[in-house]
Amino acid sequence: MSLMSIGEIMTKKLEKINMSASAQEAAKAMTEGNVSSLVVTDMNDKAIGIVTEQNLVRRVVANDISSDKVNIQKIMFSPPVTIDANSSVEVAADIMIENKVKHLLVVEDEDLNKPLGIITTNDFVGYLKKNSE
């Protein structure tokens, strides 16, 4: 089994949404981008959080709140849990378990202004499948 870095298995295409968006806009953006999460950015395009399908279900749908009335800042996970692109897959798994999250923002030198990608549990599944063949 080859040891790979997070930078090699992360999803490089980052779907972003501005912090002023509604939960409904986030859900539409996730559907259009075919992703389970969005990086939430401030007015300067700095990553300030992550909003996931799980956030939408548990904090909006389950509470029967109208999704067009909820700002994503109220439901996002903030600040985003980050990992360096050179970290190992094992380190990423530990960070996810420790923080009880399924999405890590991949950054260089802890710089939230230039996120490189995102690592999700789906990326781990792909990694494990590829390395078990």
- Does residue 82 surpass a pLDDT of 60? yes
Model pTM above 0.85: yes
Percent of all residues in the chain with a pLDDT value above 70, rounded to a whole number: 98
Answer whether the bond into residue 79 is a cis peptide, omega within 30°.
yes
- Does residue 2 surpass a pLDDT of 90? no
Domains assigned to the chain: 6-132 (3.10.580.10)
- In sequence order, the 6+-apart residues with CB closer than 8 A to the CB of 113 are 44, 45, 46, 47
Region 123-133: mean pLDDT is 82
Question: What pLDDT score does 35 carry?
Answer: 92
- Does residue 1 surpass a pLDDT of 50? no
